[in-house]
Structure 1
Amino acid sequence: MTLPRSEISAGDASVVFDAVSKRFAASGGNAAFTALNNVSLTVARGSITGIIGRSGAGKSTLIRLVNGLEKPSGGKVFVDGVDVGELDEAGLRDLRRSVGMIFQHFNLLSSRTVFGNVALPLEIAGMDRRAIERRVRPLLDLVGLADKHGRYPAELSGGQKQRIGIARALATEPKLLLSDEATSALDPETTQSILELLRRINAELGLTVLLITHEMEVVKAVTSDVAVIDKGEIVERGHTFDVFTHSKHETTRALLSGLAGSKLPEAVGRGLKPAAAIGDRAVVRLTFFGAAAERPLISQLIQSVGAEVNIIAGTIDEIGGKPYGSLVVAYGADAETSGKAERFFSENGLVTEVLGYVA
């Protein structure tokens, strides 16, 4: 996804944002503002691509440009080589049949059964009842809800409602699936089941998935590529593993700090100071991957520095099948200990970030 456009041929690109800006005029007492500023991004065909950022960063505006719900103020958006901004109403209808969308709050019709909700876009398209039956039944089976076809949304759990939303989005056999914070309203266990379903859909149907989220856990679990957006600009991009292990922008590092095992205990966070005094300890986040993730790094670090090292937080996980770990440790901030620690980190290929100092 997030490779430079020159590295992805036109035939391999599902979505291209080419120097896209979006400005909203002042209205209703709200001041004019720029939601997106000169965004260039390429989404590879068949990928699961994440766009992550804080609330108000411009994520939802970006995704609404893909299906023509918004038009760019500058630049162009291409879907399968088609300039979305140049389409008339008929062209937009055709585009939206090839672009499915799932939402945070499901958007199901309470008066329709599960079957009826999934069938709705096919009915609107004028498909006959027998053809609708042939299309909807396999989709309900795919999302694991064939036995719920006659139920109504009020009878379903949040996870089941989202599965119905996914089946409905797939009804028109789209080439691209847009997910706008689709797991934000779900509990962690249900979120994992929905992400696993998206992985299956991507693998079995070859569907490109463009996923908008503010949750790094979601990005880590399912995406192959990621772009980080902040204040309407793409500030970092790349393969997910590379961005997690070699993050360069402060926004990315801030988002990563919220992951399990990376977040500082509140008592430690409150006591952090930007500069060290005599006797203080440095608090450092270590990121390690590959073979380093399977080695006894802390015991080796203690031997190297010849001093006590405290583990404050940590986790070992996988990103894209590759081992990845994050540890927050504390050790003496004196020049000798810090120098030995820095040499150890460099020799072992560890990515480090000094978070501050504590007494």
Structure 2
Amino acid sequence: MTIPDSAADAIRHNPAQNDPMVTFERVTKRFGNDEKSFVALDNVDLVVGRGEITGIIGRSGAGKSTLIRLVNGLEKVTSGRVVVDGTDVGGLGETGLRSLRREIGMIFQHFNLLSSRTAFDNVALPLEIAGLDRAAIKAKVGPLLELVGLADRASHYPSELSGGQKQRVGIARALATSPKLLLSDEATSALDPETTQSILALLKRINAELGLTILLITHEMEVVKTIASHVAVMDVGRIVEQGRTFDIFTAPKHETTRIMLAATSGTTLPEWLKTDLRQTPSAGDRILVRLTFLGATAFQPLTARLVTEIGGDVNILAGAIEEIAGEPFGTLVVAYPATPDTIARANRFYAETGLSTEVLGYVA
């Protein structure tokens, strides 16, 4: 389904290359007084590129929600600056903040729809607040409901809609004022996996066809992997790692990132094997190696060639081929005899093929 022209023309943005939409400059946010203060954000630097989908991920209490509330001025920085499209948010008064918020759409975890208003009227609400007349509101809301696939649900109340449909209404409402930036606060956390995928596909399509910048916060690695081109990992108020989603997922450097990725990598070792894993080999042991397949190598028969190279005594213990930010990525955990000759032949094969490897340990 393509986005209707009437909706697209009203919302479309044309991102410039390497042009920042949001910049966090040495941002610190402290709650409470000096004696009993709590630092929610500690010296955060981050750039959200125009037209990109950037994910902020971290566990509960990492500072994600505080970070996103600084963007639309719902919270103010203790020190540093938050700049949105060239405007220092901290320097705005109430009039300036109201103007800025009309250019920033927001979707929420629990939808925040008014139960007494239909889908049409929920989407119309920000337009009513902006002072548009009924004819102008009707001309805009109809295409927005069509955009999110709910043209036939315009007269339905939230109680008559599924969770996914409610979130689609929320997305349409967020787009009503033709924003240049869309904030997503755990927008899929209350949805089942199938519905989550449909909402993420919608957001990805809106980004691609409208050029709309999306900044989303989540604790779900699967969400970031599916939709975000860039990601920042937060832990205890700091950004501990950031970059292209593919790079962070395929070569995480910080322990927090590795722990959060463990459940989504497809190569988690069984507990009995983890228990028996040793870091130094003994006679007769087998070596466990994680192989990483990037790009085109994810689809090449390298495992079969490895068996041919070092012999048939190779066990495959875990593995997966998946897509991260639109790029193929494969991982495989194999075990083979930890003899000097076998290891040397395997290492030659890895060097020749460019496979990335990590020795996980040794087992009897």
TM over 0.5: yes
1:124 aligns with 2:129: yes
SS at match of 2:243: strand
1:17 aligns with 2:34: no
Unaligned runs of 5+ in 1: 1-7
Measure how far apart 1:276 and its partner are: 4.2
2:155 counterpart residue number: 150
* Cα pair 2:53 2:213 within 8 Å, conserved: yes
Measure how far apart 1:52 and its partner are: 1.6
SS at match of 1:139: helix
Per-residue Cα deviation, 1:157-206 (whole angstroms, up to 9, x for no partner)? 11111111111111111000011111111111111111110011112221
Distance 1:251 1:178, change over 3 A: same
- What is the distance in 2 between the residues matched to 1:291 and 1:215? 27
SS at match of 2:189: coil
SS at match of 2:75: coil
* Cα pair 2:182 2:212 within 8 Å, conserved: yes
CA RMSD of aligned residues (A): 2.4
1:268 aligns with 2:287: no
1:247 maps to a residue whose letter is P
1:87 aligns with 2:92: yes
* Cα pair 1:311 1:329 within 8 Å, conserved: yes
Alignment of 1:156-235 (within 5 A): 156-235=161-240
Distance 1:347 1:159, change over 3 A: same
- What is the distance in 2 between the residues matched to 1:138 and 1:282? 59
2:71 counterpart residue number: 66
- What is the distance in 2 between the residues matched to 1:229 and 1:132? 40
TM-score, structure 1 normalization: 0.89
Measure how far apart 1:11 and its partner are: 7.8
Measure how far apart 1:139 and its partner are: 0.5
1:328 aligns with 2:333: yes
Distance 1:347 1:26, change over 3 A: farther
Identity of aligned residues (%): 66
* Cα pair 1:245 1:288 within 8 Å, conserved: no
SS at match of 2:51: coil
* Cα pair 2:18 2:49 within 8 Å, conserved: no
Measure how far apart 1:335 and its partner are: 4.7
Alignment of 1:33-112 (within 5 A): 33-112=38-117
Measure how far apart 1:278 and its partner are: 4.1
2:173 maps to a residue whose letter is R
Distance 1:135 1:113, change over 3 A: same
Bigger shift: residues 271-280 or 163-172: 271-280
Distance 1:143 1:331, change over 3 A: same
- What is the distance in 2 between the residues matched to 1:314 and 1:120? 49
Alignment of 1:218-297 (within 5 A): 218-259=223-264, 261-297=266-302
Distance 1:294 1:87, change over 3 A: same
Measure how far apart 1:273 and its partner are: 4.2
SS at match of 1:241: helix
Runs (4+) off by over 6 Å: 8-11
TM-score, structure 2 normalization: 0.88
Unaligned runs of 5+ in 2: 1-14
Total equivalences in the alignment:
350
- What is the distance in 1 between the residues matched to 2:296 and 2:156? 50
